[in-house]
């Protein structure tokens, strides 16, 4: 059935409501168009093997296609680029800082499918002048190496979408693309929110989707650290305080010295209305990383410090049982499994989640707490059905994907979820 005949209007008021539509980006050559020399600039600590990573990603996609409507970024982008206003606007944005004078005209001449591909996979530098011939950059328009982490560039909050302000300029085009998609793909029927570029503090604002967890329609969790700044949180506060309804924001400070802590969802994710996955050393153990409670009530803002996320959630009538990334027996195991996105689960329904099978102790935690552990291929090949289980954890391979620095939640951008009764 086509998207036009079904309701895909943006609506996300929880992290665990039954998933009705999600956006993925199946990685292409942009992932391999890097070298060890430029991997750090592309925000990778290593380079990925595309063929292996694609096989692993296909497990994630295959499972989700069994339970929900899956949209692909490239398809959506191709559709909205049929609008001449969108096409010209995006081209102007991406060419504004380009050193190749031919890029703008080259992009304008492409058909919508090829343009969508070029905006994602990049365009090689023309070598028709000595300056460009000697330029060490291979691409006039750099590939979007990180775009398969669709979570980061846009954030569904209720019936609106926040176009993220990325911490690194190399990812800015991802946000521009997602903003165009949500503004112009008619089935999504939403409004986007962006940072005000006229604001004198704009240069300090960054906020990415991995740091924003919509717990309830009146409760949002946000991490601050390497990718999201306090000014980014203030941006959301300014938008939400205009509402008359009371709203709570729990802010969690994150370590900034290690790339596995780049987002809140690398140390904390929701599994159901009753359970969550935590990386204990950051989320629960006493440390220097503050948990801050912001209350918005009819335009008034109150801020206070809390002991930790779980205690603050409990005060807000959300009692969650923590399950522990890497278990609780050995700090080294906790660190290893958190490094490989062991806390980064994606719930496609209450108590039904997807994560990496390689994190053995984390998977044991789920099993001990009543989750049926199912390999992705069993779902894809119809040997098992998720509807037959009250609680289940679908495991996907992650030997290559995890080296990109993210997990199942990072690779999924929910468009719509069913409402949850609390």
pLDDT of the residue at 354 = 98
Host H or E run for residue 60: helix 50-67
DSSP 314-375: HHTT---EEEETT-SS-HHHHHHHHHTTTT--EEEETTEEEEETT-HHHHHHHHHTTPEEEE
pLDDT of the residue at 138 = 75
pLDDT tens, residue by residue, 189-240: 998 998 765 556 567 799 999 999 999 999 999 999 999 999 999 999 988 8
How far is 399 from 404, CA to CA, in rounded Å? Answer: 10
How far is 398 from 356, CA to CA, in rounded Å? Answer: 5
The answer for residues whose C-beta is within 8 angstroms of residue 399's C-beta and 6 or more apart is 52, 56, 358
pLDDT of the residue at 24 = 98
Cα distances from 2 to residues 8, 52, 82, 157, 327, in angstroms, run 10, 31, 18, 24, 44
> Euclidean distance between the first and final Cα of the chain, in Å?
32
Place of tokens 């969790």: 221
pLDDT of the residue at 239 = 85
Provide the whole-model pTM: 0.93
Cα distances from 17 to residues 11, 20, 169, 350, 422, in angstroms, run 11, 9, 33, 6, 11
Are the beta carbons of 250 and 349 closer than 8 angstroms?
no
The answer for residues whose C-beta is within 8 angstroms of residue 247's C-beta and 6 or more apart is 218, 219, 220, 240, 241, 295, 296
pLDDT of the residue at 243 = 83
How far is 26 from 386, CA to CA, in rounded Å? Answer: 23
pLDDT of the residue at 378 = 98
pLDDT of the residue at 3 = 43
Place of tokens 């278990």: 327
Residue in 59, 13, 57 with CA at minimum distance from that of residue 270: 13
pLDDT of the residue at 35 = 57
Ordered domains of the chain (ranges, CATH):
3-417 (3.75.10.10)
How far is 375 from 330, CA to CA, in rounded Å? Answer: 26
Instruction: Mark the ranges of the chain whose per-residue pLDDT is less than 70.
Output: 1-5, 34-46, 99, 127-136, 196-202, 259
Q: State residue 388 phi and psi, 5-degree precision.
A: -80, -5
Residue in 247, 179, 257 with CA at minimum distance from that of residue 215: 247
Are the beta carbons of 175 and 184 closer than 8 angstroms?
no
Percent of the chain exceeding pLDDT 90 equals 73
Bridge partners of 305? 292
How far is 266 from 409, CA to CA, in rounded Å? Answer: 9
């Amino acid at each position: 059935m086509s998207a036009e005949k079904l309701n895909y209007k943006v609506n996300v008021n929880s992290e665990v409501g039954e998933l009705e539509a999600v956006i993925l980006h199946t990685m292409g050559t942009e992932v391999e168009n890097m070298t060890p020399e430029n991997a750090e600039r592309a925000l990778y600590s290593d380079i990925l093997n595309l063929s292996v990573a694609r096989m692993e990603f296909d497990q994630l996609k295959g499972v989700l296609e069994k339970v929900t409507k899956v949209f692909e970024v490239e398809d959506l982008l191709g559709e909205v680029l049929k609008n001449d206003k969108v096409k010209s606007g995006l081209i102007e944005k991406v060419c504004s800082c380009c050193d190749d004078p031919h890029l703008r005209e080259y992009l304008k001449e492409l058909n919508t499918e090829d343009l969508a591909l070029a905006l994602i996979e990049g365009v090689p530098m023309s070598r028709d002048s000595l300056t460009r011939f000697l330029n060490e950059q291979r691409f006039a328009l750099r590939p979007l190496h990180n775009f398969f982490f669709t979570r980061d560039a846009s954030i569904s909050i209720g019936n609106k979408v926040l176009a993220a302000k990325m911490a690194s300029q190399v990812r800015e085009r991802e946000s521009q693309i997602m903003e165009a998609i949500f503004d112009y793909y008619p089935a999504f029927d939403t409004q986007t929110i962006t940072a005000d570029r006229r604001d004198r503090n704009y240069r300090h604002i960054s906020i990415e989707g991995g740091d924003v967890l919509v717990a309830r329609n009146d409760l949002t969790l946000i991490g601050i650290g390497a990718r999201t700044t306090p000014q980014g949180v203030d941006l959301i506060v300014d938008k939400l305080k205009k509402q008359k309804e009371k709203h709570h924001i729990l802010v969690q400070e994150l370590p900034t010295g290690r790339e596995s802590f780049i987002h809140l969802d690398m140390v904390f994710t929701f599994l159901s209305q009753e359970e969550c996955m935590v990386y204990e050393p950051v989320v629960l153990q006493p440390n220097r990383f503050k948990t801050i409670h912001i209350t918005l009530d009819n335009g008034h803002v109150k801020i206070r410090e809390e002991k930790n996320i779980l205690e603050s959630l409990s005060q807000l009538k959300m009692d969650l049982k923590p399950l522990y990334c890497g278990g609780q027996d050995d700090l080294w195991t906790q660190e290893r499994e958190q490094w490989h996105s062991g806390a980064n689960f994606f719930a496609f329904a209450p108590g039904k989640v997807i994560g990496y099978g390689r994190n053995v102790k984390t998977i044991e935690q789920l099993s001990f707490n009543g989750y049926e552990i199912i390999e992705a291929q069993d779902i894809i090949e119809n040997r098992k059905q998720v509807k037959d289980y009250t609680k289940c954890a679908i495991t996907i391979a992650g030997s290559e994907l995890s080296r990109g620095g993210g997990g199942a939640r990072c690779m999924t951008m929910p468009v719509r979820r069913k409402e949850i009764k609390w």
